[in-house]
Amino acid sequence: MTISPPPDLLASYRPLAGAYDEMFTADGRLREHWAHAGRVIETLGLRELLDRRSEAYRLLDDDGVTYNIYGDDPAITASAPTIAPWGLDPVPVLLASDEWVGIELGVIQRAELLNLVLTDLYGPRQLLRRGLLPAELVLSHPGFFRACDQIRLPGSQQLFTTAVDLARDSAGNCAVLADHTQSPSGAGYALENRLVVSRVLPSLYRDSQVHRLAPFFRMLRASLQELAPPGTDDPRIVLLSPGPWSETAFEHAYLASYLGYTLVESTDLTVRDGRVWLRSLGRLERVDVILRRTDAWFCDPLELRGDSRLGVPGLVEAARVGGVSIVNTLGSGVLENPGLMPYLPRLAEHLLGEKLLLPSVPTWWCGDDDGRRHVLAHLDELVIKRISRSAGARSVFPWELTHTERDDLRRQIEAHPGEWVGQETVELASAPTLSKDGLEARRSVLRAFTVARNDSYTAMPGGLTRVAGSNGDAMAPRSSVRISNQAGAISKDTWVLASEPEKLSGFWLTAGPPVAAIDPEASMSSRAAENLFWLGRYAERAEAMARLLRAVHDRRNDFQGGANPSGTESLRVLLAALTRVSSTYPGFVGDGEIDRLAAPGAELFALVVDETRPGTLAHAVHHLLGAAHAVRDQLSSDTWLAVGTLDREIRDLRMSDPEHPMVVQLTLGRIMQNLLALSGLAAESMVRDPGWRFMDAGRRIERGLQLTALLRATVTVERSTATDSLLLESVLIAAESIITYRRRYRSHAQLETLLDLLMMDVDNPRSLAYQLDQLANDVRLMPKLRRGAALSEPERLVLETSTALQLADTAALSRPGDGGVRPDLDDFLARMLELLCRTADAIDADRFVHLLPQSSLLASS
């Protein structure tokens, strides 16, 4: 094999013919503002850049940056999405300072204009009455919510944030492809991109004088603060997300923790007294401002979409009476209408007295006679879109259709012209993107962001650039408009180069009197507490299962198929114990047990990898991750370092050979490492706030249950001394107490001393007594739903369990009765199990808010 010399990256770069290229001029010269970056790229070379890209992906993976991909509308289909890693190309797009000023002025003016349009449409509607906008274009748009008429935010701006997708034509001029006003996404991803690229290309970043993004988010925070209903001193702000499975769930949690707001889902909120309240632990906490990331249609099942399960009934009413400020406003989606584009130049002159600085890509609304004639006459050259994305259907590219399909489209447009627009195609600009062979020119679109500030808008200096996922798209003529994450696009950081070093302003550190801290109980929703409780339980369940599986695998290596009867017998008991502890019947205890005991490989493999079967390791890991995703904003980002690879371990193992025990053993080892890192984080990096108490209680209960179930499945029957010595050893290994036991009791293994160490010893962090001690502390310090001096039900149950344990006589319990069985021990362990289960149920009933299922009031006629 010959190794060709690394290509000269810049010399071998081929901009697309006819398109503007971000890096090179049409006559093949490096653009001036790329001079430094060009040198750095050349110096680094392909191999090093590819290494940096791997590093970027590792960082994104460690931070758990994902994008969820759906086939259909996530609010309607119950199916879970495909969790895709976030794609990032390490080579940034550079924008010169003067170039950016033009874009910035344009996007700010556009935001101001759209704000005035929005204010009018939910106010006097003069634009419609005076014919400046066709009434049909607005009144037929599904994003125009009559229920939200006349609702106003405090202050002059009704439009809080905007995003625009910008395309550069072949001359390098920017035009708007689409406006995003519903709940613009991407700003958080842009921030994460910056973090990663500045880490993998540190010296390039440092030397380039790049405008920072943080000030934009400080503006956003300051503006949100001012949106609180009048008379609110210290407004409570929450970020409303549809949940961990929404497309941009990562961004919701990331922004919530970056901005310091509580991440909520609709079930965390309730409306009463014309205000919105957070169901926090044990009480209702007022919410003043909602940063909305749930599409407005779904936000209120009473007044908006009746079938929504992502809404809060009464939310529109609360906004109407001014009890809460929701941004973007519930009706803001009316501006996400490409049919408005042809009217914007006229509206800019009328409303602002200015020319529109940033044009839209030429667009025709078919509800207008001339517009329709133009679109139908040029059907083959235009991209056909609906005026509302809620109407379903994506953009149509008529040149890709068959004759029949095109005729059908024509008929649809003629039948309901007002629902359609035609938009010119743009020869999108290209940006240098890393591939394994060098730099490739890929079509790119820039999403720019603004936020309301001081009666105008501030633009994020930079934005989210997305390039086509492969250069196949770039070669096909005119298909360049399909650059979306759902279509596999990857992102790039976007650097606006400052002409002079930036002055730092608006620091996080502030002078003045100390600010009162937010009470942690008030900022945590009951749902978050419940998820943390389950996070603790599943983490411990996974750990216990991994330990037990490892102990079983060790014994199997020793004795499987061997001639040692005691060894075979101890393995049989352990396999049965595995089934009993994990409740994965029939397994090694029911139908088909004989075959499975003879060849346990397949079942043992399934107990690791089958996530659809409750009780397996994969099932516990799956639910552990689900709970972690749901409380992502509460966890340190290092958490993903610990658990981020868990499901990949299991997925990889699932693909491998089940009859290769070494592979399973190695995987179990790595899973243990991750789980131990997670419990280390919980012990060393989490504040002992109410959330921690719930997580720890979950852990303690689960560890108690696992241990007790294991003892009950192994030592309640006396077997031969040889078998029992092997068995006791395995139990001590699975219970992570073998070293202490050996040190303490040397070679004299006895059940009584084993029970002393595993049940009674309050200093052994693996003993039942220790779990109950910790649990007593946790339940005492947990916030309660009901206040009162008497012990709560969980406290009472923990006390009862712990008392029963302390009164137990291990010597008596260990003594075998008739036929070698130990009925007293069995009864005792069964009682412990029952009490622990009841404690878990009591915490659930006593500490978490449970909503009954939502349904509709029957329609009366």
Partner 1 sequence: MTYRVVHRTEYRYSSVVSASYGELYLLPRDVPGQVCRTSRVVIEPAPHDYRERVDFYGNRAAYFAVLDPHTQLTVTAESTVDVSRPSSLPLPVDQPWEAIRDRLRSDTADDAFDAREFLLDSPKVEVSPAVAAYAAESFTWGRSLTDALTELNSRIHHDFAYKPGSTSVRTTLNELLECRTGVCQDFAHLTVGCLRSVGLAGRYVSGYLETLPPPGKERLVGADVSHAWASVFVPDAGWVDVDPTNNRFVSDRYVTTACGRDYGDVSPLKGVIYTRSKMNKLHVSVDVTHIDGTV
192 binds partner 1 (CB under 8 A): no
Q: Under DSSP, is residue 571 helix (H, G, I), strand (E, B) or coil?
A: helix
Binds partner 1 by CB under 8 A, chosen from 171, 687, 807, 857: 857
**Choice between 299 and 361, CB closer to partner 1:** 299
Q: Smallest gap, in angstroms, from Cβ of residue 860 to partner 1?
A: 5
Exposure string for 101-126, b = 16+ CB within 10 A, e = fewer? eebbebbbbbbbbbbbbbbbbbeeee
Q: Smallest gap, in angstroms, from Cβ of residue 184 to partner 1?
A: 27
Distance in angstroms (rounded) separating the CA atoms of residues 537 and 533: 6
Is residue 714 a contact partner of residue 735, using CB atoms and an 8 Å limit? no
Binds partner 1 by CB under 8 A, chosen from 39, 58, 199, 272: 272
**Choice between 203 and 856, CB closer to partner 1:** 856
Give strand pairing partners of 292: 240
320 binds partner 1 (CB under 8 A): yes
Residue holding tokens 């949690």? 253
**Choice between 131 and 472, CB closer to partner 1:** 131
Q: By rule CB under 8 A, what count of residues binds partner 1?
A: 35
Is residue 384 a contact partner of residue 375, using CB atoms and an 8 Å limit? yes
Within positions 390 to 449, which residues make up the interface with partner 1, using CB under 8 A?
Answer: 416, 418
For residue 13, CA distances in Å to 43, 434, 441 come to 15, 10, 7
Q: Give the interface segment with partner 1, choosing from 232-240, 297-305, 714-722, 800-808 (CB under 8 A).
A: 297-305
**Choice between 2 and 855, CB closer to partner 1:** 855
**Sheet strand arrangement including 275-280:** 269-272, 275-280, 283-287
Binds partner 1 by CB under 8 A, chosen from 321, 518, 739, 845: 321
Please name the residues in contact with 108: beta carbons below 8 A apart, sequence gap of 6 or more.
450, 456, 457, 458, 459
Binds partner 1 by CB under 8 A, chosen from 92, 188, 313, 398: 313
Give the relative orientation of helices 823-847 and 768-781 as an angle to the nearest 10 degrees: 20
Q: Smallest gap, in angstroms, from Cβ of residue 409 to partner 1?
A: 17
Binds partner 1 by CB under 8 A, chosen from 10, 59, 128, 686: 128
**Choice between 273 and 659, CB closer to partner 1:** 273
Q: Give the interface segment with partner 1, choosing from 271-279, 423-431, 760-768, 831-839 (CB under 8 A).
A: 271-279
303 binds partner 1 (CB under 8 A): yes
**Choice between 790 and 858, CB closer to partner 1:** 858
Between the CA atoms of 389, 352, 150 and 313, what dihedral angle is there, to the nearest 10 degrees?
40
Distance in angstroms (rounded) separating the CA atoms of residues 704 and 765: 11
Q: Give the interface segment with partner 1, choosing from 66-74, 139-147, 663-671, 727-735 (CB under 8 A).
A: 139-147
Binds partner 1 by CB under 8 A, chosen from 18, 306, 565, 669: 306
Is residue 611 a contact partner of residue 618, using CB atoms and an 8 Å limit? yes
Q: Smallest gap, in angstroms, from Cβ of residue 291 to partner 1?
A: 23
Q: Smallest gap, in angstroms, from Cβ of residue 130 to partner 1?
A: 10
Binds partner 1 by CB under 8 A, chosen from 136, 554, 736, 800: 136
The interface mask with partner 1, positions 146-165, x = CB under 8 A, is xx-x----------------
Helices (H), ranges, 248-302:
249-259
Q: Could you count the other beta carbons within 10 Å of the beta carbon of residue 612?
A: 9
Query: What six digits make up the tokens of 263?
Result: 């991440």
Q: Could you count the other beta carbons within 10 Å of the beta carbon of residue 505?
A: 7
Within positions 585 to 604, which residues make up the interface with partner 1, using CB under 8 A?
Answer: none
Within positions 836 to 855, which residues make up the interface with partner 1, using CB under 8 A?
Answer: 851-855
Binds partner 1 by CB under 8 A, chosen from 6, 72, 123, 129: 129
Reported as half-sphere exposure (CB side, CA atoms, 13 A), residue 310 has a value of: 22
Distance in angstroms (rounded) separating the CA atoms of residues 486 and 71: 9
Q: Smallest gap, in angstroms, from Cβ of residue 859 to partner 1?
A: 5
Site residues, partner 1 (CB under 8 A)? 128-129, 135-136, 139-140, 146-147, 149, 271-274, 301-303, 306, 313-314, 317, 320-321, 416, 418, 851-861
